[in-house]
């Protein structure tokens, strides 16, 4: 019980957020000095900025073949879609799980499966609402192709949103990665698409909340059909 309370109250902060938190705190201090009523607004914004950059550890299932969510948030869609051309995954539609992150979700993204990063492709673009399907093609994005041990490939695409203006990627081409490993971050409010290998059935449905590095979204070794979901 004590450990649970501690983990809830004292969550690690992603170092990439320190400059933003520091700037917000400095502005808040100036507001308290010169325009005190506005200082309370600055304090609230500083608290939110600190909350935004939280980076909690995750308990990742380690059984071979499991694919975990790459992002915290709401499953926006689960449908076949042609991957962005820069990934080089072909013109055939693949099972795609899209997760939308609002400004209150943890924004540290995670590697969904064990493998080797074959390609990283950044594409400049627009900043339309990330919840719209056209965001997969129109928005600024950063894509990864991960080669799996069995010869198949998986694609992950970080997509900037209406407010997001910066995509950070913390892995490099040729790097061996593990499921649950920190992949990068998008500021502020955005979306992550995972393109599963052909024939792999997603385990999640639209409207479901998922946790990066923890929620299993597919099983590369499974034979069952896609799981259907309904609101009850």
Asked if residue 207 lies in contact with residue 232, where contact means CB atoms within 8 angstroms, the answer is: no
Give the β-pairing of 73-81 and 209-210: antiparallel
Q: Dump the DSSP string for 78-138.
A: EEEEPPPGGG---SS-EEEEEEEE-TTS--EEE--SSEEEEEEEEE--B---TTSTTHHHH
Q: Is residue 61 part of a domain?
A: no
CA-angle at 135, arms to 67 and 93, nearest 5°: 55
Pick from 98, 58, 106: nearest CA to 207:
98
Asked if residue 183 lies in contact with residue 170, where contact means CB atoms within 8 angstroms, the answer is: yes
Asked if residue 87 lies in contact with residue 195, where contact means CB atoms within 8 angstroms, the answer is: yes
Q: Is residue 178 part of a domain?
A: yes
Asked if residue 217 lies in contact with residue 210, where contact means CB atoms within 8 angstroms, the answer is: yes
If the chain, 232 residues long, is cut into consecutive pieces of 10 residues, what is the mean pLDDT of each piece? 49 86 93 90 91 92 95 95 94 96 91 97 70 62 96 94 75 97 86 95 94 96 82 80
Q: Is residue 167 part of a domain?
A: yes
Hey, what are 37's tokens? 């009523």
Active-site residues, by number, are: 190
Structure pTM?
0.86
Cα separation, 217 vs 69, in Å, equals 6
Q: Which domain holds residue 19?
A: 2-52
Hey, what are 221's tokens? 């070794």
Cα separation, 153 vs 113, in Å, equals 10
- Same domain, yes or no, for 112 and 170? yes
- Same domain, yes or no, for 209 and 107? yes
- Same domain, yes or no, for 41 and 87? no
Q: Is residue 60 part of a domain?
A: no
Q: Is residue 106 part of a domain?
A: yes
Q: Is residue 229 part of a domain?
A: no
Res 131: pLDDT: 54
Number of domains in the chain: 2
- Same domain, yes or no, for 170 and 193? yes
Q: Is residue 159 part of a domain?
A: yes
- Same domain, yes or no, for 19 and 102? no
- Same domain, yes or no, for 104 and 27? no
- CATH code of the domain containing 169: 2.70.70
Q: Is residue 228 part of a domain?
A: no
Res 4: pLDDT: 46
220, 224, 226, 228: CA torsion to nearest 10: -140
């Amino acid at each position: 019980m004590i450990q649970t309370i501690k983990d809830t109250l004292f969550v690690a902060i992603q170092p990439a957020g320190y400059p933003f938190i520091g700037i917000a705190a400095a502005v808040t201090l100036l507001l308290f000095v010169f325009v005190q009523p506005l200082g309370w607004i600055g304090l609230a914004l500083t608290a939110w900025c600190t909350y935004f950059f939280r980076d909690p550890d995750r308990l990742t299932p380690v059984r071979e073949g499991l694919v975990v969510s790459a992002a915290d948030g709401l499953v926006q869609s689960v449908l076949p879609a042609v991957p962005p051309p820069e990934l080089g995954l072909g013109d055939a539609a693949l099972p795609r799980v899209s997760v939308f992150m609002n400004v209150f979700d943890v924004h540290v993204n995670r590697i969904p499966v064990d493998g080797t990063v074959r390609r990283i492709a950044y594409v400049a673009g627009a900043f339309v609402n990330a919840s719209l399907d056209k965001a997969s093609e129109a928005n600024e994005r950063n894509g990864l192709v991960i080669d799996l041990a069995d010869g198949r490939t998986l694609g992950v695409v970080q997509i900037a949103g209406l407010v997001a203006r910066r995509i950070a990627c913390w892995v490099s081409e040729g790097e061996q990665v593990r499921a649950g490993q920190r992949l990068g971050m998008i500021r502020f409010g955005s979306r992550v698409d995972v393109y599963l290998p052909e024939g792999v059935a997603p385990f999640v449905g639209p409207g479901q909340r998922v946790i990066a590095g923890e929620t299993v979204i597919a099983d590369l070794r499974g034979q069952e059909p896609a799981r259907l979901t309904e609101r009850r």
